[in-house]
Structure 1
Amino acid sequence: MRVGMCTKWIDEAYTGVGRYTIKVLEHMMDLDDAPEFHLIHRQQGGDPVYGRAAEEHVFKPRIESLWWHYQDRFCKGLSSKLDVIHEPFVGFRTRMDCPQVLTFHDAVPLMHPEFAPRTFAVYFKRMMPKVVSRADAIICNSERTRADLLQHYSADPDKTFVTYLGVDPPDVVREGTFTDKEPYMLALSNTLMKNIGFTVGEFTSYKDAHGGDLRLIVVGSDYSGLSQGRTDVEVLDYLPRDSFVELIAGAEALLFPSHYEGFGFPPLEAMSMGVPTIVSDRGSLPEVVGDASLVVDIDRKGSLVEAIHRLRTEEGLAAELRAKGNERYKGFTWDKCARGTLAIYEGLMG
């Protein structure tokens, strides 16, 4: 089987889409019955995965902001030589000459356009209906995402599939970088969608009510400004991957009350390092964490305060969540994701 995969997303910043693309490719390539992969992108790639491909195809967009248009045209010309072609994010507006696959990661640009780049919000509203109608198979990374897809677009349910993503437990090197900050809880805030205003507000309410030496470390930006003047809240802008992993591993808990997630890597990664998590009841998060996390209603003021207090005072709760989390994350593997994706390709071949 000859499979074309658009790999723009692994050539740029390390995003969730990029991680998905590289991981599912690597693990499909590792299978005994691996297809012949043709990787398609707009610049020469340096990732080792290109060396494992049957062929690398590079297109040059004349207008950079319209790269997706040139990708469509290039892939159309290539598709007659392929058995399946897969675009792992923006999809194709053009009908290809072989079955075409789309990965639909989340409905943020539709459900929360205020948290999405304007270009994505416009694309998902104007272009994605055609992309969905053209796709022969649509891979979703959770049941919640599949439900959102079917709610917002005229997709054929029989052409939509759920293939959960995987988690690789990171190697934790403890160099004592953050021991002077302990005890602390951790929050992430690379976008407004992570709901950092709620997190900081609830944490400071907890501290004002209960005192103690617990601190909150925020990685990213405090868009709310609520941390200003607080000595118990620290905002870190950027950390190398190894330092970030060490920071997670040393936390009492990961606070992740996001407005919406199509999947949600951070809670599962925290679980793999033995860190309890508190997540919101939105998007796919309850589905992904199961009973291995505390879940809060972010519309109810005080819900996170109560969860933090429970975690710190209820005997055996933290240990129970660590044990459940250790089992939960093991159910999400890239090997399963790769095999599920390959099965979808094979189904399109009849």
Structure 2
Amino acid sequence: MRFPPASVVALDGRLLAYRRGGISRYIAELGRALARAESDSSEVRFRLVVNRVPPDLPLPSLRVMTPPHHRLETWILGCELAFRSIRVYHATDFVLPRLPPWIRGVTTIHDLAFLDAPGDLTPSSFRYYRQTLARLRAADRIIVPSEATARRLQLVVPETSERIRVIYHGVHQWGSTVTDAWERSSQILMPRLGPRIEGRPLLLAVGTIEPRKRYDLLLKAFSLLRQADVQPAPLLVIVGQEGWQCTSTVQQFRVGERERVLCWLSDIDDEDLHALYSVASALIVASRDEGFCLPAAEAMAHGVPVVAFAVGALPEIVGDAGLLIREETAASLAGALVRLLSDTDLRAELAYRARLRAQRFSWEESCRRTLAVYQEVLARDF
């Protein structure tokens, strides 16, 4: 792949100092893959734009003052970038700043959930994300992580259709589960759930605690599941940082923790998450919408069946490697979980399909296709 000489491509990495999952995970994994690609080429250099420098950055940093989601970000960040030797700027968090004409702009639109349920956002977040569509008109290329998101974007902003590129996110292909997964998971869970966890199904949910993830509905489904008296009795493990508009949800987590049927882990490292995936019986996704759903892909790579509502990109990503539910109710979700936990053959078949399906997604392929997008915009005349 050929680039113009001395090209510098800058990715917005500011969220890495504030969040671990979601977009931050996308930035980190894409950054690591780009770092490997850079080592094979002398034609291009990649940089991460940051306002704080967190540890373990996957790429060298380019420091700015503007924090993420600042109310004047599109103007101020664009001015800061104008004085850097950048040929391409990749807005990894939806909103493309106002760039000078000599910098090409690429943006990643992860989903359009902010259009469907603006009430799920804080007022400041909504003010930020509502700029997305207007700024799309200035983007040279638009990356989306699924065909479902591409179709939706084409309906909302049809004039962008020719500039949209579908690039799936990746997932690590772990292969067999880690040998000490149960021991490591036990060390995490026993202090919170008590010693009697061995042999009990572990149901996993991964994602920021915020309204779009519908943890309240998930908790209702888990309550119905417990009433169904499935044996051995399942346990619920939730992994995700506290987000916004989630006070009542967190209070329900605390009740479940006191009853020792639920464990909420607000921040764990990748190795611990790997261990939990390795021993989980299922991943539950109760979201209102998903543009890709990294936890679903990660779970499938571990051979973990996904139980989810058939919304957004989830049918496209999960396919036949899980149970997709059309009726978005707690009762339907609980019924699917009862079916999965009661049928050993079904779990084994879905686990087999999950590993096969996960092989469709790799960060190396995501990186390769993203590099092709950068090459497209650099090939344009300045």
Shorter-chain TM-score tier? 0.7 to 0.9
CA contact (8 A) 2:170 2:363 kept: yes
CA contact (8 A) 2:107 2:143 kept: yes
Deviates more, 1:252-261 or 1:147-156: 147-156
- How far, CA to CA, are the matches of 1:155 and 1:264 in structure 2? 27
- How far, CA to CA, are the matches of 2:45 and 2:295 in structure 1? 32
Secondary structure of 1:30 counterpart:
helix
2:370 aligned with 1:344: no
Cα–Cα, structure 1 residues 234 and 93, in superposed 2: closer, same or farther, change >3 Å?
same
CA contact (8 A) 2:31 2:59 kept: no
CA offsets 1:66-87 (integer angstroms, 9 cap, x no match): 4553211112333xx4432222
Secondary structure of 2:103 counterpart:
coil
Cα–Cα, structure 1 residues 263 and 117, in superposed 2: closer, same or farther, change >3 Å?
farther
Match of 2:288 in 1: 259
Please list every run of 5 or more consecutive structure 1 residues that lacks an aligned counterpart in the other structure. none
CA offsets 1:161-191 (integer angstroms, 9 cap, x no match): 1000011246744223347322332234622
Match of 2:231 in 1: 212
Match of 1:145 in 2: 149
Secondary structure of 2:232 counterpart:
coil
Deviates more, 1:154-163 or 1:15-24: 15-24
AA matched with 1:117 = T
CA contact (8 A) 1:188 1:196 kept: no
Match of 2:349 in 1: 320
Match of 2:196 in 1: 180
After TM superposition, the structure 1 = structure 2 runs for residues 129-168 of structure 1, keeping only pairs within 5 Å, are 129-168=133-172
TM-score normalised over the length of structure 1: 0.87
Cα RMSD after superposing both structures: 2.8
- How far, CA to CA, are the matches of 2:160 and 2:230 in structure 1? 54
Give the Å deviation of 1:271: 1.6
- How far, CA to CA, are the matches of 2:44 and 2:138 in structure 1? 23
After TM superposition, the structure 1 = structure 2 runs for residues 1-350 of structure 1, keeping only pairs within 5 Å, are 1=3, 2=7, 3-31=9-37, 32-33=40-41, 35-44=44-53, 46-51=55-60, 56-61=61-66, 66-78=72-84, 81-89=85-93, 90-125=95-130, 127-169=131-173, 172=178, 173-174=180-181, 175=183, 176-177=186-187, 178=189, 180-181=196-197, 182-188=200-206, 190-219=209-238, 220=240, 223=249, 228=255, 231=259, 233-241=261-269, 242-300=271-329, 302-314=331-343, 316-348=345-377, 349-350=379-380
Aligned residue pair count: 343
Give the Å deviation of 1:111: 1.4
- How far, CA to CA, are the matches of 1:298 and 1:47 in structure 2? 42
- How far, CA to CA, are the matches of 1:207 and 1:62 in structure 2? 44
CA contact (8 A) 2:230 2:341 kept: no
Please list every run of 5 or more consecutive structure 2 residues that lacks an aligned counterpart in the other structure. 190-194, 241-245
Give the Å deviation of 1:118: 2.4
CA contact (8 A) 1:257 1:296 kept: no
Percentage of matched positions with identical amino acids:
25
AA matched with 1:180 = R
Structure with the bigger RCO (C-alpha within 8 Å, sep 6+) is: 2
Cα–Cα, structure 1 residues 273 and 153, in superposed 2: closer, same or farther, change >3 Å?
same
